[in-house]
Each structure stands twice: as C-alpha cells, then as structure tokens.
C-alpha cells in the first residue's frame, strides 16, 4: 500500500492485491488508510464468495421461504426446471457479474425464460448482491447455523 500526498492536498491510495491494482483519491490520509482496510476486506470477502455456486446459493435462498408461501412452488419449479439446468454449475459471482440481457438470452435459448423464471432469477440475484455487499455471502460456502446443508433442490 502506498499513500501519496497530491499537489491538490488530497491523498492517493494505491494497492495491489492478486495482481489487481486498486487506486483511490481521498481528502485525508486517514480516509486513505480506511479505504485500504475496506478494500482489503472487500477483496477477501469476494475471494471467499467465489467458491459459491449458483445452485448452492439458490437452494439456500429457496429454503428461506416458508413452505406455504404463495410463490414458493412457482419459484421452486423455475429454479429446478429452468434456472439450475442453465446456471446451476456457474459460480454465483460470475452470474452476478454477467449482463442481465445475456442471462435472459441463455435462458431463452434453453427454452426457459418465462415471467416466473425472470422474477425468480432477479430475486435470487438481488438477495445475493445484498449479501455480497453486507459481507455475508461467504457464509453460504461454509454453511450457516439453521440453514440446510443441501446444495440441491432434490435432496
């Protein structure tokens, strides 16, 4: 980590992690040091989350629904018959980073892009993004207390 004072009085933080360069210009040296800590933590969380497959996350996501929730059966069918065959083995982060239109094209090509499938995919990805930002997505890879250990909807 390098912190340089710029002629403007701001501070530039530079950081190299896993051959990836990160830079930021911040108003104070303390802000630059905080940026370093936050950046290292975000990279660590993302690295841990990288091992989570879409299928594993989707199974745990669905397990969060009550058995009698109105949309549970629709979402379970959309996951099992449409989403998992196309996206199940992909790392969740790859699916999160993918262009949404490209994902819908893949689903359409596989014959599975209906309204329930689109809604289910958007909800799964929205919750995954929220967990990624909160730093809790990596817990899926290790399992969570009170969550089923299954990685398949059929188990």
| Residue among 136, 118, 116 nearest 60 (CA) | 136
With beta carbons less than 8 A apart as the criterion, state whether 140 and 52 touch.
yes
Segment of 3-12, 71-80, 111-120 carrying the highest mean pLDDT: 3-12
What is the bridge-based pairing of β-strands 20-26 and 11-17? antiparallel
Q: What is the pLDDT of residue 4?
A: 94
Confidence of residue 69 (pLDDT cuts 50, 70, 90): confident
Determine which of 62-66, 94-98, 145-149 has the lowest per-residue pLDDT on average: 145-149
Highest mean pLDDT among 41-45, 136-140, 149-153: 41-45
**Greater pLDDT, 106 or 55:** 55
The C-alpha atoms of residue 2 and residue 70 are separated, in whole angstroms, by 53
pTM: 0.64
Check pLDDT > 80 for residue 23.
yes
User: Which of 41, 43, 63 has the alpha carbon at shortest distance from 124?
Assistant: 63
Residue scoring higher pLDDT (58 or 155): 58
Give me the pLDDT at residue 151, please: 40
């Amino acid at each position: 980590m390098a912190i340089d004072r710029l002629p403007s009085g701001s501070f530039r933080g530079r950081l190299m992690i896993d051959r990836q360069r990160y830079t930021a210009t911040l108003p104070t040296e303390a802000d630059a040091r905080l940026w370093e800590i936050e950046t290292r933590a975000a990279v660590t969380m993302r690295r841990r989350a990288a091992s989570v497959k879409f299928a594993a996350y989707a199974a745990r996501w669905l397990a969060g629904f009550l058995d009698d929730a109105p949309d549970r059966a629709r979402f379970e069918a959309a996951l099992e018959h449409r989403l998992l065959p196309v996206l199940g083995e992909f790392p969740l982060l790859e699916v999160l980073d993918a262009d949404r239109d490209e994902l819908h094209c893949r689903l359409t090509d596989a014959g599975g892009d209906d309204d329930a499938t689109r809604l289910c995919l958007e909800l799964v990805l929205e919750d995954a993004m929220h967990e990624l930002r909160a730093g809790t997505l990596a817990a899926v890879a290790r399992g969570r207390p009170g969550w089923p250990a299954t990685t398949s909807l059929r188990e």
